[in-house]
Chain A
Amino acid sequence: MTAAVLSPGRSNLHRFLSGYGQEIVVLLAIVALFVVVGATNHRFLSNTNINSIFAGNAYIAIAAIGMSMVIMAGHIDVSVGALIGVIATIAGTLAVSDYPIWVAWLVPILFAIMVNAGVGTLVAYTRIPSIVVTLGMLSILKGGLISATAGEWISNLPPEFMIAQMRPFGIPSAVWFMVALTILAALFLRYTDFGRSIYAVGGNMEAARAAGINPERTVIGVFALHGLFAGIAGILFATQLQVIQSTVPPNLELTIITASVIGGVSILGGTGTVIGSTLAAILFACIGSALIFLNVSAYWLRAVLGLMILATVLADMIRRRRDT
C-alpha cells in the first residue's frame, strides 16, 4: 500500500490504467468476444445481429446510468425493474386512449421522477436504508401493476408512439439515446458541482457536509435523476415491441445493478463511471447473443453469465488489491 503512495514516478499511462481499469477490462472483453465469436460464425457480425444486441438492450444500459449514480452516492434501488414495468404500462395506456403522443412519453417519465424523488426524500431525511425503502417500493409497484392491469397486454399501439423503433440516420433511436445519455451523464458527473457532490456524498457523507454540500438534497437529486433515466428506459422498453406486457424480464433490477457494478461502480459508494456501466450492459447483451451463435444451449445462458460476473468481480478484487 505504502509503496504505491510513495512512488512518485507513476507514469500517466499507469494513472490512466488504474483510473479506468475496469472500463478497459470490460471493453477488451467486448472486443475479444466480437473477434472470437465473429471468427467462428460470421453471422454474429451481421448488421441485424449487431443492431439487435445494441438496440434491444439499450434500455438496460440507460437504466444502469441512473443506477450507477445512486450506487455512487452510497445507495441502491431494487425497485427499478418494477418501476420500468409501471412506466411502460402507463405510457401504453395513455397512447391507446388518444392522448397526444408527447403526453404518453412525458407523463410516465415525470411519474418516475416523482416516485423516485419520494424514495430519495424518505432515504435522505428518515435515514432508513435505501435497500429497505426500495424493497417496500418493489412490492408496492409490482403488486399495484398486476392489480391494475390484471395481467392484460396492451396492443394496437399507434405507430408514431414507437420511439424505440425509429431509425434516424439508419441507426435505431434506442442506440442514439444510449450513447447520448451516457456521454451527457459522464460530462455531468465530471464537470458539474452537483455531479461531483454525488461522489463526495458517496465517499464520505460527513466530510461532504463539512465541505458545504447538502447531502440530503444531493441524495434526493440523485434519486430524481435515477427516476429520469428509469423513465426514459421505460419508454424505450415500452416501444420496442408491438405489445406492452404487464411484466418485465425477471430479475431486471439485478441485471441493471450488475451492469453498474461490473462497470466499475463500487458498491461501497464514491467511485465509478457511467461509461463503465454502459459498456457492461453491452457486454451482457453480447454474451447472450454469442452463446446462441456458438450453439450453446439457451438453458445454460444464465449460468455462463453468472460465471462471467463472478470472474469479473474476482479479477477486479485481485487487481484492486495489487493496485493499493
Chain B
Amino acid sequence: MTAARFFRHETILAILTIVAMVVLASLSDKFFTADNLLNQGRLMAEVGLVSLAMTFVIVTGGIDLSVGSILGLTAILLGVFWKNVGLPLPAAMFLALACGTFAGWVNGFIITRFSVPPLIATLATLALYRGLAEGISEARSVRGYPEWFFFFGQGEVMGVPFQLWILGIATFVAAIILGLTPFGRATYAIGANEVAARFSGIRVNATKLWIYTGSGFCAALAAVIFVSRVTTTRSDMGTGLELDAITAVVLGGTSIFGGRGTIIGTALGLILIQALKNGLALSGVKGDGTIVVIGLVLIGAILVGALFDRNRGG
C-alpha cells in the first residue's frame, strides 16, 4: 500500500514525460537527436544540482528561497577572488565554493538556532546575499577566464557534457542518501512530524543544518559551472532560480508540507520541464509561451495527483 502510493506520482510523471517526448519529437525532427539532448542536459545541470538539494529541504517541510542569490554571490566572489584579490583560479574556486557553502550554513543556523520559519529566514537571506553580490561587484562583470576553466561548463568527457556527469553522479548519490541511509530516514521523519522525530532521538537540528549547508554547496557548485559555461560573472546570475528548482521538485511529487518525495521524482520533473522548454521552442513556440505551458503542467500534474490521492479514500 505504501509502496504503491509512493510510486503513484512518479509513474504518472514518467508516463507524462514519455508522452511529451514523443509528441515533441513528432513536432520537430531536431528534438530527438543526440546533439540536442546532450545540449539540453548541459543546460539542465545548474538548476538540477540545486533541485536535488531542494528536494531534501522540502522533504523536511522547509524551503530555501536563497539558492539563486547564493549562486549569484558565489559567482561574484569567484570573479573577485581571482581578478581583484589576485588568487590563483583554483584557490579562488575553492574559496568561493566555501563561501557559498557557508551561506547555506548560515541559513541553517538561523532556522535551527532561532527557530525562524525557513520561508522567512531564506527570504531575508535572498535579499542579503543578492545585495552582497551587487555591493561587492558594483554591477561590474568579470571576464577573461583562462581556457582550461571553461572545461567545467563547456567540456566533454566521453562525448557527454562534463556537468551532466556531475549531475548524474549527484543524482545517484542524493537518491541513495535520501532513500537508503539513516540520514534520509531522518529527513523524512522530520518532515512528517518534527516533534515526534525529536522525541524519537533524531538529531533534528543537526540534520537540518546539514541539509541547508548542502543546499548552499549545491548552489555554489552550480555557480562555478554557470560561470564556466557563460564565460563571464555577473551579479544578477541565478535570479529566479529558486522558483525553477521548487517547480521541478514539486512537479516531481515532493509534498510541499514535507515528509514525502523522492529524488527520482525530482529528476523526472527536471527532465519534463527541460524537454518542454526545448521541444516547444524547436516547434516554433516563442520563449515566453513555454513558461505558460510549464505553469499549466505544474498545476495540472499536481491536480491529477491530488485527484488520485482522493480516490484512494485518503
Contacts and interface: CB of A to CB of B under 8 A. Distances in A.
A158 interface: no
Nearest to B288: A146
Contacts of A126: 303, 306-307
A140 B296 contact: yes
A184 to B, nearest CB: 27
Interface in B280-307: 286, 288-296, 298-299, 302-303, 306-307
B130 A302 contact: yes
Contact of A147 (B110, B125, B134, B289): B289
- B contact patch SS: helix
A175 interface: no
A131 B256 contact: yes
A299 B135 contact: yes
B247 A314 contact: no
Interface string A117-144: 0000010001111011101111110111
Contacts of B155: none
Question: Of residues B117, B124, B289, which shows the largest number of chain A Cβ atoms within 10 Å of its Cβ?
Answer: B124
Contacts of B302: 128, 132-133, 136
A310 B110 contact: yes
A1 interface: no
Interface residues of B, number: 48
Nearest to B297: A136
A267 B117 contact: yes
Question: Of residues A143, A144, A254, A313, which shows the largest number of chain B Cβ atoms within 10 Å of its Cβ?
Answer: A143
A306 B65 CA distance: 13
A317 B302 CA distance: 34
B244 to A, nearest CB: 10
A256 to B, nearest CB: 11
Nearest to A129: B256
Interface string A295-311: 00101111111110110
Contacts of A254: 65, 123, 126-127
Contacts of A136: 247, 295-296, 298-299, 302
B164 interface: no
A302 to B, nearest CB: 3
A135 B243 contact: yes
B256 A313 contact: no
Interface residues of A, number: 45
Contacts of B31: none
B272 to A, nearest CB: 14
A268 interface: yes
A170 interface: no
A254 B306 CA distance: 28
Question: Of residues A135, A267, A309, A317, which shows the largest number of chain B Cβ atoms within 10 Å of its Cβ?
Answer: A135
A261 B289 contact: no
A135 B128 CA distance: 23
A132 B123 contact: no
B286 A313 contact: no
A299 B134 contact: yes
Contacts of B246: 131, 135
B290 to A, nearest CB: 7
A250 interface: yes
A301 B131 contact: yes
A317 B246 CA distance: 26
B205 interface: no
A81 B139 CA distance: 24
B117 A144 contact: no
B295 A306 contact: no
Interface string B138-179: 110000000000000000000000000000000000000000
Interface in A47-75: none
A147 B288 contact: yes
Contacts of B286: 147
A56 B132 CA distance: 25
B234 to A, nearest CB: 13
Interface string B238-255: 010001001100100000
A147 B124 contact: no
B31 to A, nearest CB: 20
Nearest to B139: A299
Contact of A143 (B126, B135, B137, B292): B292
A273 interface: no
Nearest to B285: A147
A309 B131 CA distance: 12
Contacts of B294: 139, 143
Given A303-B132, A305-B131, A314-B110, A139 B247 contact: yes
A143 B127 contact: no
B128 A138 contact: no
12 contacts: A128-B306, A135-B298, A136-B299, A143-B288, A143-B295, A251-B127, A302-B127, A303-B131, A303-B132, A306-B126, A309-B127, A314-B110
Closest 10 CB pairs of A and B: A303-B131, A306-B128, A139-B295, A143-B291, A302-B131, A306-B127, A140-B295, A143-B292, A146-B288, A136-B299
